[in-house]
């Protein structure tokens, strides 16, 4: 239950950030935003502030801004989307993904300032409850000098040796405040990768604001690069299509939560980057397709017929909904019957 609540909070944060980007950009452009909605389906709460109706809807799988001038039957409002300069319309459409990128950067900055970055030291930073390391009495601050007689001088070496020994009894030479002792521990197998684990985490060092900003930008760019490379591999058929729906994401949130708050925050940042990038793809019903139509308008010198564009978006929305249902079905089958 706590996992579901945490997942809903994460979904809500990502939706508010994305739709908030569109909303703020539309307000900046002087457009009339008739409704700002978090969630889809029937409304469970609504309130009007000025000209905008704010809604919270029952399905936390998306959201929307109803901006005047975006529908076929609503083309005459002087503050409508369709009456604004092309550059302003592009900014409004792109602002949702831009806000997701900004959210990810801010989360990474918070992580680096509040928790720091893992240090490549052969020192135990933390011990996970219920794991083998806790059961045999390993403590934060213990310096692991050897694993089965192999000398260890860094965290990466330590992890490599442990991961290569799943479900094996290993002997650790530990320096605890100058007192050398040998501790035997049996590793467990990580379900996803099959690697060995004992349940220890590295030491972390907090960063100042400037370093956190730099690291936050670098980490976000690195994640974006990795996501793009993964998408390209899938398109080229060099990697399987690893697609999960809401049910799969809830499961991943639960897995991240076992590693603590820093893992949940990092997962949220990566999810936000994924959402921002996916929305920029030129797929009907996504922001990327609307940007593509605006670029086409710039080339043609006139907009596409609103009826044709809305029909394309409608077909795209139906196909995306069908894909979502299929992926959700596969997630359920994988979780309960694999």
CATH number at residue 172: 2.30.42.10
> Which of 204, 221, 242 finishes a domain?
204
Residues 19 and 89 in one domain: yes
Residues 94 and 131 in one domain: no
Q: What is the pLDDT of residues 35-55, one digit of tens each?
A: 999 998 899 999 999 999 999
Domain that holds residue 49: 2-114+266-337
> Which of 186, 204, 222 finishes a domain?
204
Query: Does residue 258 lie within any of the structural domains?
Result: no
- Which residues carry out catalysis? 19
Residues 71 and 156 in one domain: no
Q: pLDDT-based confidence at 221, cuts 50/70/90?
A: very high
Residues 6 and 110 in one domain: yes
Query: Does residue 209 lie within any of the structural domains?
Result: no
Contact yes or no for 58/37 (Cβ under 8 A): no
Residues 102 and 188 in one domain: no
Return the pLDDT at 73: 66
Query: Does residue 221 lie within any of the structural domains?
Result: no
> Which of 17-31, 178-192, 252-266, 287-301 bottoms out in mean pLDDT, i.e. has the lowest?
252-266
Residues 139 and 180 in one domain: yes
Residue 261: CA atoms inside 13 Å, Cβ hemisphere, count?
A: 7
Return the pLDDT at 78: 86
Query: Does residue 225 lie within any of the structural domains?
Result: no
CB neighbourhood size of 6 (10 A): 17
Mean pLDDT of 132-159: 93
Return the pLDDT at 236: 73
Contact yes or no for 212/109 (Cβ under 8 A): yes
Query: Does residue 102 lie within any of the structural domains?
Result: yes
Mean pLDDT of 72-92: 86
Contact yes or no for 275/101 (Cβ under 8 A): no
**Which residue spans within the chain are E strands per DSSP?**
33-49, 52-67, 117-118, 126-127, 143-147, 150-151, 169-176, 179-186, 188-189, 196-197, 200-201, 204-205
Return the pLDDT at 3: 78
- Residue that has been written with the tokens 């300032």 in this structure: 113
Residues 39 and 86 in one domain: yes
Mean pLDDT of 193-218: 91
Query: Does residue 214 lie within any of the structural domains?
Result: no
Average pLDDT for the chain: 85
Residues 20 and 110 in one domain: yes
> Which of 155, 181, 204 finishes a domain?
204
Residues 6+ apart with CB under 8 A from 84: 29, 30, 31, 69, 92
Return the pLDDT at 35: 95
Cα gap 118→219, rounded to integer Å? 14
Contact yes or no for 41/55 (Cβ under 8 A): no
Query: Does residue 215 lie within any of the structural domains?
Result: no
Residues 6+ apart with CB under 8 A from 106: 216
Mean pLDDT of 104-121: 92
Most confident of the ranges 3-12, 127-136, 324-333: 127-136
Would the pLDDT of 99 be above 90? yes
Q: pLDDT-based confidence at 72, cuts 50/70/90?
A: low
Residues 191 and 290 in one domain: no
Q: How many domains does the chain have?
A: 2
Query: Does residue 304 lie within any of the structural domains?
Result: yes
Residues 6+ apart with CB under 8 A from 139: 124, 127, 176
Residues 291 and 321 in one domain: yes
């Amino acid at each position: 239950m706590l996992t579901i609540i945490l997942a809903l909070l994460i979904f809500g944060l990502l939706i508010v950030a994305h739709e908030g980007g569109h909303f703020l950009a539309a307000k900046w452009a002087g457009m009339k935003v008739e409704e700002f909605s978090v969630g889809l389906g029937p409304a469970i709460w609504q309130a009007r502030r000025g000209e905008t109706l704010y809604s919270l809807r029952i399905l936390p799988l998306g959201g929307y801004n109803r901006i005047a001038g975006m529908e076929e039957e609503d083309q005459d409002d002087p503050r409508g989307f369709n009456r604004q300069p092309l550059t302003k319309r592009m900014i409004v459409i792109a602002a949702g993904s831009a806000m997701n990128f900004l959210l990810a950067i801010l989360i990474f900055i918070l992580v680096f300032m509040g928790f720091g970055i893992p240090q490549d030291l052969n020192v135990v930073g933390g011990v996970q409850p219920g794991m083998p390391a806790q059961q045999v009495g390993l403590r934060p601050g213990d310096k692991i000098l050897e694993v089965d007689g192999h000398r260890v001088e860094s965290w990466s070496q330590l992890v490599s040796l442990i991961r290569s020994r799943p479900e094996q009894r290993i002997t650790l030479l530990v320096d605890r405040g100058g007192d050398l002792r040998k501790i035997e521990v049996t590793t467990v197998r990580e379900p996803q990768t099959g690697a060995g684990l004992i349940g220890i985490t590295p030491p972390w060092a907090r960063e100042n604001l400037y370093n956190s900003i730099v690291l936050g930008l670098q980490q976000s760019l690195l994640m974006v690069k990795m996501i793009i490379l993964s998408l390209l591999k899938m398109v080229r058929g060099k990697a399987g299509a690893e697609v999960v729906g809401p049910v799969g994401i809830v499961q991943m949130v639960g897995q991240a939560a076992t590693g603590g708050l820093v893992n949940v925050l990092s997962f949220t940042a990566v999810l936000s980057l994924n959402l921002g990038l996916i929305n920029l793809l030129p797929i009907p019903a996504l922001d990327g397709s609307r940007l593509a139509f605006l670029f086409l308008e710039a080339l043609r010198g006139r907009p596409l017929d609103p009826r044709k564009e809305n029909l394309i978006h409608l077909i795209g929305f139906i196909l995306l909904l069908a894909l979502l249902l299929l992926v959700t079905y596969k997630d359920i089958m994988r979780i309960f019957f694999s």
